[in-house]
Chain A
Amino acid sequence: MAHAVTAADTLEEKLTQELGYDDHFHEHHHGDKFQSNFLTTYIFSTDHKIIARQFLITGIFWAFVGAAMSIVFRLQLGFPEADMAWLKPILGKWITVNDAGIGKLDPEFYYSLVTMHGTILVFFVLTAGLSGTFANLLIPLQIGARDMASPLLNAFSYWFFFLAGVVMFLSLFLSTGPFSGGWTAYPPLSALPQASDGSKAGMTMWIVGMALFIVSSLLGGINYITTILNLRTKGMNMWRMPLTIWAILVTAILGVLSFPVLLSGVLLLMFDRSMGTSFYLSEIVVGGQILDRIGGSPVLFQHLFWFLGHPEVYIIILPSMGIVSEVLSVHARKPIFGYRAMIYSILAIGFLSFIVWAHHMFMAGVNPFISNFFVVFTLIIAVPSAIKVFNWISTIYGSNFRFNAASLFAVGFVSMFISGGLTGIFLGNSAIDIQMHDTYFVVAHFHIVMGIAAFFGMFAGIYHWFPKMFSRFMNETLGKIHFWGTLIGAYAIFWPMHYTGMAGVPRRYYSIENFDSFKHFVDLNKFITVAAIVVFFLQILFIINFFYSIFSGRKLTVKNPWGSNTLEWTTPIQPGHGNWPGNIPTVQRWSYDYGKGGEEFIPQFVPLKEGEHDHGH
């Protein structure tokens, strides 16, 4: 154990040697020999830090694809008269050019774009890309573990995600097009290949892709839960864990309990599609032809879908909430306000998210009496959400806030979460939802509260932990431009949609030109599209900054650049396999001792002084 007796020149190294936990890692482990060449180090790695980066970069790829799709359908919505022939090289036969040489987006493909945009962003970017990145990066590093409980399953989790992506991606090139029935895949549209082109091979590939995706997220989730519950370092009890870890834990629990239900739902759908059963089908006429499939119920699918679907939106937002709590506290140089209240809120949100699913079905013929039950629980979710918002604001309030890209995005998250959460309360009341359902009001609600907010949390996390991932910083100026532009742009895109939605403009329509009552929204729609294009290019700026910084960003020269308390910053600047070269640091206190007793920050491995009280415990 040669490395354990090198001179300890910092307090941290001294403490880690004296108090650290010696697990004889380098005597037992043979991990390093599996990382001897490029392929095993960067591609088929089982190291959680590499897997995190794989999830992140795959997620960025999908975010680009998904966002590009939205620009295409926004062009159609904002400028329905415009000539889209220039897109012909990319979209091929989905652009039909008429005799006058004017190219039009094929309406069927418009639906495919909307569907794939939703599927990609919800599942591939904000579930796998977000959870996969930060769960993998932060769990072992912040709880003081060498790696995940099962590094192998962890790698499988990534490769199933990758495969799911390959299947979805290939479905884009089918001659009948990818699936086009909306990301919620409601039958009978999704169950009957003859119902639309997208429901043919596109839907089959959608199901296969989603099934692979579910396997990936179950493997990941099982691993995250086991690692958090079992492999915390000495002294890291549950009430000392950073909120990131709490959020990821609850996220993973929601995932392993709700994704199997979606799997059941799509399996039954698959049987309906290919084996002739009628779980979801009854008395249907397609193209003038009466089907002999009777006895099924399409609403059954909605129940199964939304039993996953609602927890899913929290699977998306909780990791961001955890990241934001951590980032805000570090950059406000203040302990997170109401640590325990934060944890209880996360738990309450997690629990409640399982009993509100029918608020997506108020208009599906659900018994109004039962709806009341769901209205009440839906509105109760606003309570823990409000507690969290209050705590974030109190954390920032009166602090010496450090304004940088990471912390700005964290503040932006809070803003978005408030704006979008408020419209949730409108929609949660079934009486109002009858008017709002399937309009742009809902689109505005969930894009602000989930789409943008979750992205902001993710950006906060990327800017904050980039130095840990790549040993370099991202460019701050570009980061700030990215932030302000995206903040203003995102509101410019989605705020007006509240008004169009209240006026009744339905979502997912190819064109609203023909409705007299919506004529006055033509200019507004143009405005939204222009804002969307601007925001899209700002994200390209981010991607450039990201990849440029990996190779040429400012180098990280100290272990703990932000003055943070958590354990990931005690690892070497370029942590190797096993994260800590010698002992694992032990934990002596909670992770939020900022500005305590005159000290700017007291990392978690520093023992309590005599008579000092530990907040977390």
Chain B
Amino acid sequence: MGAIPSPEYNQSKILPQKLALWVGIGSMVMMFAAFTSAYVVRRSAGNWLEFKLPDIFFLNTVVIVMSSVTLHYAYTSFKKGKEKWYKGLLIATFLLGILFVVLQYKGWQAMTDIGATFTVNPSSSFIYVISGIHAAHVLGGIAALIVAMVHAFVLPFRPTARRRQRFELVCQYWHFVDVLWIYLIGFFLTQS
């Protein structure tokens, strides 16, 4: 019964699945809030190795923002019934998502190269852990995109309400990991 809109009496206008995802997003936010406040607390205690964040992390940011844009247009194309654009932009989003994860990996390599290894000091350990767990969330989003692509390419194109709602769930989550990354990179920049 998971993703099927319930025929029951629904008290609020929002779909139960969307509300559930919002609540889930709330708990993911708390998790990252915990990580970043731990970072602040730990940093203020001194003995903190300063280093410059490799540039790849900014390239990364551009990539994930672009993926949100492509996904958004995939969604509007879906609603307008432009099948080709919808499918093409969905693939583009998927590829950008993969690229993000690859670049993230390169970014960690670049950090190791300048001596900011995983264990040298909590200042770098935190970056690995926080961006690593974020990347895990992106991988979850990529899995959702794969499901969306299966819908797009296996099922006949029909912009029904139910399929739109399912697609909206994917978008909601993907935009969340994007915004989360923007917060994280902003946080790293103001903190280091």
Contact = CB atoms under 8 A, between A and B. Distances in A.
- The answer on A and B forming one complex is yes
Interface of A: 21, 23-25, 28, 31, 46, 144-147, 149-153, 218, 221-223, 225-227, 229-234, 236, 256-261, 263-265, 267-268, 271, 275-279, 282, 294-297, 300, 303-304, 307, 584
Per DSSP, chain A at the interface is: helix
Contact of A230 (B12, B38, B129): B12
Contacts of A31: 1
Interface in B25-50: 26-28, 30-31, 33-35, 38, 41-42, 45, 47-48
B123 to A, nearest CB: 8
**Most central of A223, A259, A295 by chain B CB within 10 Å:** A295
A257 B26 contact: yes
A88 to B, nearest CB: 44
B5 to A, nearest CB: 11
A222 B17 CA distance: 10
B62 interface: no
A23 B9 contact: yes
13 contacts: A150-B2, A221-B27, A225-B23, A226-B19, A226-B20, A232-B9, A236-B11, A256-B24, A264-B31, A268-B38, A271-B129, A297-B42, A300-B38
A222 B23 contact: yes
A277 B118 contact: yes
A398 to B, nearest CB: 36
A303 B30 CA distance: 14
Contact of B30 (A25, A146, A258, A267): A258
B6 interface: yes
B10 interface: yes
Closest 10 CB pairs of A and B: A260-B31, A264-B34, A261-B34, A277-B125, A276-B119, A149-B16, A226-B20, A256-B27, A260-B30, A230-B16
B55 interface: no
A352 to B, nearest CB: 17
Q: Is the interface of B mostly helix, strand, loop or mixed?
A: helix
A223 B31 contact: no
Contacts of B2: 150, 152-153
Contacts of B121: 278, 295
Contacts of A21: 9
B20 A223 contact: yes
B129 A304 contact: no
For chain B, which range describes its interface: under 10, 10 to 19, 20 to 34, or 35 or more residues?
A: 35 or more
Contacts of B16: 149-150, 226-227, 230-231
A331 B110 CA distance: 68
Contacts of B9: 21, 23, 144, 231-234, 584
A304 B38 contact: yes
Interface in B115-159: 118-119, 121-122, 125-126, 129, 133
Contacts of A227: 16
B6 A231 contact: yes
A229 to B, nearest CB: 6
A223 B8 CA distance: 16
A276 B23 contact: no
A180 to B, nearest CB: 25
A25 B7 CA distance: 7
B189 interface: no
B14 interface: yes
A554 B149 CA distance: 56
Given A231-B10, A264-B31, A276-B119, 9 more contacts: A23-B7, A149-B6, A150-B2, A150-B16, A222-B27, A230-B19, A256-B26, A257-B27, A297-B41
Contacts of A584: 8-9
Contacts of A268: 38, 129
